[in-house]
Amino acid sequence: MHLSVSHRVVAVSCSALLYAGIGVAHASGPIPKRPSQSAPSSSVQVHAQPDIDWAAYNGNVDGQHYSALALINRTNVAQLKVAWQFDTGEKGNLETNPLVVGRVLFGYTFTGKVIALNAANGSLLWTFDSGVKNSQPSRGFAYWTDGKNARLFAGVLNFLYALDPATGKSIPDFGEDGRIDLRKGLRGDYEQQSVALTTPGIVYKDLIIVGGRNPETHPAPPGDIRAFDVRTGALRWSFHTIPRPGEIGYDTWPPDAWKDAGAANNWAGMTLDAARGILYVPTGSAVFDFYGGDRIGNDLFADTLLALDAATGKRLWHFQGVHHDIWDRDFPAPPALVTVDRGGQLIDAVAQTTRQGVVYLYDRVTGSPLFPIEEHAYPPSDVPGEKTSPTQPMPVAPAPYARQRLTEDMLTNRTPAAHDWALQTFRTFRSDGQFIPFGVDRQTIVFPGFDGGAEWGGPAVDPAAGVLYVNANEMAWTGGLTPYNPNAGAGAKTYQAQCSICHGVNRTGSPPAFPSLVGVTTRLTDAQITDVITHGRGRMMALPSVDAAKIAELLEYLKSAGSAPSEHAQDTMPGGPNMQYGFTGYRKFLDPDGYPAIAPPWGTLSAIDLNTGEYLWKIPLGEYPALAAQGIANTGSENYGGPILTAGGLLFIGATSYDRKFRAFDSSSGKLLWETQLPFAGIATPATYSIEGKQYVVIAASGGRDPQSPVGGMYIAFSLP
């Protein structure tokens, strides 16, 4: 449905089209040289300037998270107050980086409705409700204009919509009645495919280029990168991340893998050098995430930074960050374009952050690494049917921004009892650092954990000074493999195939991200469970391959399994002929009180000089309020969503899951200059823009990561009095 739109709303929105030229032209042009952000605050000059938009995901197609605004700066940021707030009326995880074009802010609600707000006062202009049931993250939008016409591209589950920014109505001559079904054109029956556009595509000239989030279990479609005509929705080009015969990389997979292998997809978003027409596409792992017996080889172009010709999709260069990934080490965020100084020579570069806690830096034209990358030897897997890569790449510099190997001296000392528990438990694990293959029926430490290191929020960069700012998690997780039992029942097979990767073989999960399914049939009705399987919820994607008969069998299994499942429950999973093992489930290494079983920091924020590879500063980010009340402060905490950087010398970031803080740091020193507590945690990347000489900073606040904290759904903007 559409809310009624008044003549006043249309007038405001048409104004947005007039202002759009500023933001979009800036997004598509060459990067101007700007003063270094390390300049002292006394040098900041505040003077009149035209309104500045936030006209692309993360501010610009260059991935920099940067704004030239300096109206709010080091000298006055402490005066920030709430300018306006808008309650979506929905409660659930909001990860949206809002788009601001002219005087209009575009955002999502938890269920995937698109909203347009007056960016000066937060009043609602229009709402677009696709009618598609959605609870997947919706992180942002893409915007196109030719100066006369404009289109707002919004992803809702598997659909890409083209909306009129002035009215919120879908544009009927785009795709099929205003939308493209991204399941189509991949492989086989499209209704059996599962794709969700959780992170927006990117606009290059008259193309909208997209990836998508794919399942992490069989069956999964291939992660093709596709470009569609912005006006008609017609497919213009497609790049196969699982190569077909005759394509580069085909020999890194088993023969004909392209017919049934899945994923190697771009779920994290892309970056564009618009002046050169080069598209940078980071990809994730192939399915199955943790056992690759059916995909022996390096599996190009999974876990790869691809440089493509944006006009044609032709590969220009690539770098694979993980060979034959069995650790779910996806490239988690769009890379950032930056210019670095090497001996007086300015080099245009591209920087890619990773879950394993390192940053790679390349010449963005040639793909040559700007710091040496070494292939390190790692032990082989002892799991039958698995064949790991003998080496994996790691950069010599910069040093990792997250610890790499968990040892006994790094365990928690929060209390003597917590330490003793952690020590005894740790000694049952294998902890030998990065890229250690999982074993059967023994847990292996993954550190930093499955959620990073860096995550989907991505870094901010100072485009002129060459400094990268990255927030990171330093949590320890564990994982392992378990053999399948070919004699298990049908419902058990479906559970192991589709559910155990997140909820574990024993169904206990790792709350809150992966809830326990023990006794789930006493908490939810059959219809509610069926709805989650059919439509997905939160991190869980829809499972179209699980038909009504399989759902009935799965429900019977969940009901009969009881409330105390065996730790070593053995089921079976349909898959390729070499699929003999499943994943025991994501598990955080937490102490009995629910705190990390390792010593702080548990989350950090770092500034890295990419000219030299040296750290300028590194600080803990976030804390646990209950521990802070006990005098255990500045521990850092898990954080999701990224920072933004301004010419006023400020680094704004929410992200912290537990303390619900929104902060501003001095970008040159890491000193905290301002903070406020949000009603709900800001698990999203903020945005900044100006209207009539007034600068605003806005963040989506929703919570949802900490079960003890409130959950809502608001957009909150701050400005100077």
pLDDT per residue as tens digits for the range 392-437 = 999 999 999 999 999 999 999 999 999 999 999 999 999 999 999 9
Confidence of residue 275 (pLDDT cuts 50, 70, 90): very high
pLDDT value, residue 580: 82
Confidence of residue 512 (pLDDT cuts 50, 70, 90): low
The arithmetic mean of pLDDT across residues 163-188, rounded, is 98
- CB 200, CB 98: distance < 8 Å: no
User: Among 129-133, 158-162, 345-349, 512-516, which stretch is predicted with the lowest mean pLDDT?
Assistant: 512-516
Domain ranges of the chain: 57-479+592-719, 485-572
**57-479+592-719 architecture in CATH?**
8 Propeller (2.140)
State how far Cα 395 lies from the chain centre.
Answer: 22
Contacts of 635 (CB under 8 A, 6+ apart): 600, 601, 602, 620, 622, 623, 624, 627
pLDDT value, residue 545: 73
Confidence of residue 346 (pLDDT cuts 50, 70, 90): very high
Confidence of residue 11 (pLDDT cuts 50, 70, 90): very low
Q: Look at residues 179, 143, 181, 183 and name the one whose alpha carbon lies nearest to residue 162.
A: 179
The arithmetic mean of pLDDT across residues 248-255, rounded, is 98
pLDDT, tens digit, 9 for 90 and up, residues 57-88: 999 999 999 999 999 999 999 999 999 999 99
Q: Is the pLDDT of residue 552 over 90?
A: no
Q: Is the pLDDT of residue 103 over 70?
A: yes
Confidence of residue 666 (pLDDT cuts 50, 70, 90): very high
State how far Cα 317 lies from the chain centre.
Answer: 23
pLDDT value, residue 571: 40
Contacts of 436 (CB under 8 A, 6+ apart): 378, 379, 430, 444
The arithmetic mean of pLDDT across residues 538-562, rounded, is 76
pLDDT value, residue 521: 81
Is 1.10.760.10 the CATH classification of the domain at 485-572? Answer: yes
In this prediction, what percent of the chain has a pLDDT beyond 70? 90
Sheet holding 104-108, edge to edge: 99-101, 104-108, 114-118, 124-128
pLDDT value, residue 579: 61
Mean pLDDT score across all residues of the chain: 89
pLDDT, tens digit, 9 for 90 and up, residues 430-478: 999 999 999 998 999 999 999 999 999 999 999 989 999 999 999 999 9
The arithmetic mean of pLDDT across residues 360-371, rounded, is 98
Confidence of residue 555 (pLDDT cuts 50, 70, 90): confident
pLDDT, tens digit, 9 for 90 and up, residues 676-689: 999 999 999 999 99
- CB 356, CB 378: distance < 8 Å: no
pLDDT value, residue 708: 87
The arithmetic mean of pLDDT across residues 256-260, rounded, is 96
Confidence of residue 663 (pLDDT cuts 50, 70, 90): very high
**Block residue for tokens 């759009």:** 20
Structure-model confidence comparison of residues 484 and 679, the more confident one: 679
Tokens standing for residue 236: 């213009």
